[in-house]
Amino acid sequence: GENVEQHPSTLSVQEGDSAVIKCTYSDSASNYFPWYKQELGKGPQLIIDIRSNVGEKKDQRIAVTLNKTAKHFSLHITETQPEDSAVYFCGKGSASKIIFGSGTRLSIRP
Amino acid sequence: DSGVTQTPKHLITATGQRVTLRCSPRSGDLSVYWYQQSLDQGLQFLIQYYNGEERAKGNILERFSAQQFPDLHSELNLSSLELGDSALYFCASSQTGRNTEAFFGQGTRLTVV
């Protein structure tokens, strides 16, 4: 119940197209779902987060959707740009810790 | 710059040795997390502290220990090091440690030879 499954592990999209990364979990205690972006040689950085009382949140080209009944949440990046190339981690948070998925390496093809 | 400072940035040591990694959280943050990231792996949660007290424990080996001091900085101690302990170790901090954004440091790259 502690893990969060993240798919796909690698994703290559054409510049300008959309990218979608999905995560699933199984416990009922998690109520905070952040997404982090990790660029080469850097620490992860929060790009968007959502709490369990919200179904969708958008910030410019990035959106996150949460289906708490089905226990899955997704990251959507529209109009992808070269600078979107990075590793993305989904996370699930409860009262005391944030557990991360295994990561998705996103590559943007010119 | 996230405001979280980790030292040293790089560390090379031999098997069987002991090392200490240091983390200074963002000003005002009371909670510190430690994560391990092995090559091409995800972020494995090790341990969390809040205001000096251990709050949550993950898959942290018995050879590893941590503490958070009164000034809120934290140290991760790794002993009897093995080759497999080579990894990036990240510290993150947050205000409350409960369902809030965690800010990550740049990490300490540990190489065990």
pLDDT in tens, B21-73: 999 999 999 999 999 999 777 899 999 999 999 999 998 999 999 999 999 99
Phi, psi of B35 (to 5 degrees): -130, 150
Helix residue spans in chain B (DSSP H) = none
- Entry field: residues in chain B: 113
pLDDT tens for each residue of A2-36: 789 999 999 999 999 999 999 999 988 888 999 99
- Give the span between the Cα atoms of B102 and A79, in whole angstroms: 27
Q: For residues B23 and B67, is the Cβ–Cβ distance under 8 A?
A: no
Residue A41 makes CB contacts below 8 A (sequence gap 6+) with none
Determine the residue of chain A that is closest to B89 in CA distance. A43
- Residue A79 vs residues A14, A15, B51: alpha-carbon distances, Å: 9, 7, 42
The angle subtended at Cα B84 by Cα B82 and Cα B88, nearest 5°, is 110
A6, A45, A95 ranked by CB distance to B104: nearest: A45
Judged by DSSP in three states, A84 sits in helix
- Give the span between the Cα atoms of B107 and B110, in whole angstroms: 9
| Cβ within 8 Å, pair B104-A44 | yes
Using pLDDT thresholds of 50, 70 and 90, give the confidence band for residue B100: confident
| Cβ within 8 Å, pair A100-B100 | no
